[in-house]
């Protein structure tokens, strides 16, 4: 995601709208980047951001053996600046701090893969199985429990008790 912060935004002017989808959670300093966006966006211009909150734990059953462990891992990852698994919950606050005026918030967007009720479709299960193979930091953090954690994630996704957990957040704001 380093290339995102290297965009020469002023050369794109005039910019009247910005759309970001599941991207700012990769930035080490999203506050700085959002302030940068505010600085070159035209007055009255808009920004719309959608991102995930509780990316992994939000798709586990809360009574899972490793739920609290995964939740703590997500929080620690955000603090480290590697990936913020809970960035979605921060969008509104960060936009306000940058000077944007919030005009729309949806803290529970339905998403077929990340925020849904009931058992996941076979395609979503394939995607999550593939995702589990790529969660190297989770593997490195919990090498002895990793297989069991992945099994719990998939079991939660397969369960008819799986419920939306406010995992996908959408915020629209404009520059005063």
What's the whole-number mean pLDDT along residues 7-24?
81
- When the pLDDT of each residue in the chain is averaged and rounded to a whole number, the result is 91
Whole-number pLDDT of residue 1: 46
**What pLDDT, on a 0 to 100 scale, did the predictor assign at position 3?**
57
Q: Which pLDDT band holds residue 43 (cuts at 50, 70, 90)?
A: very high
Residue 5's pLDDT is 58
4 confidence band (pLDDT: 50, 70, 90): low
Task: Give one DSSP letter per residue of 97-130, joined into a string.
Answer: HHTEEEEEEES---BTTTB-SSSPPHHHHHHHHH
Q: Is the pTM of this model over 0.75?
A: yes
Q: Can you give the pLDDT at residue 148?
A: 97
| Those residues with Cβ within 8 angstroms of residue 38's Cβ, 6 or more apart along the chain or in another chain | 98, 99, 100, 175
- Residue 124 confidence (pLDDT): 97
Chain length of the chain: 176
d(CA 73, CA 80): 11
Q: What is the mean pLDDT of residues 116-122?
A: 96
pLDDT of residue 40: 84
Helix extents (H) in the chain: 2-5, 30-40, 67-80, 91-98, 122-134, 136-141, 146-158
Domains and CATH numbers, the chain: 14-175 (3.40.50.150)
Q: Residue range 17-46: average pLDDT?
A: 91
Angle value at C-alpha 68, between 62 and 139, nearest 5 degrees:
110
State mean pLDDT over 79-93.
91
| Rounded distance between C-alpha atoms, residue 45 and residue 37, angstroms | 11
Confidence category of residue 7, pLDDT binned at 50, 70, 90: low
Mean pLDDT for the stretch of residues 131-159: 95
């Amino acid at each position: 995601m380093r290339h995102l912060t290297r965009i020469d935004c002023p050369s794109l002017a005039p910019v009247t709208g910005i759309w970001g989808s599941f991207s700012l959670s990769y930035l080490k300093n999203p506050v700085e980047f959002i302030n940068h966006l505010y600085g070159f966006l035209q007055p009255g211009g808009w920004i719309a951001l959608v991102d995930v909150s509780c990316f992994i734990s939000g798709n586990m059953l809360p009574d899972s053996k490793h739920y609290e462990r995964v939740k703590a891992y997500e929080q620690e990852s955000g603090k480290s600046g590697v990936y913020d698994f809970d960035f979605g919950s921060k969008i509104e606050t960060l936009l306000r701090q940058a000077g944007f005026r919030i005009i729309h918030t949806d803290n529970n967007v339905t998403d077929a893969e990340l925020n849904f009720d009931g058992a996941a479709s076979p395609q979503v299960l394939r995607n999550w199985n593939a995702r589990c193979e790529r969660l190297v930091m989770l593997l490195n953090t919990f090498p002895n429990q990793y297989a069991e954690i992945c099994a719990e994630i998939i079991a939660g996704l397969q369960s008819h008790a799986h419920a939306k957990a406010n995992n996908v957040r959408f915020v629209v704001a404009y520059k005063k």
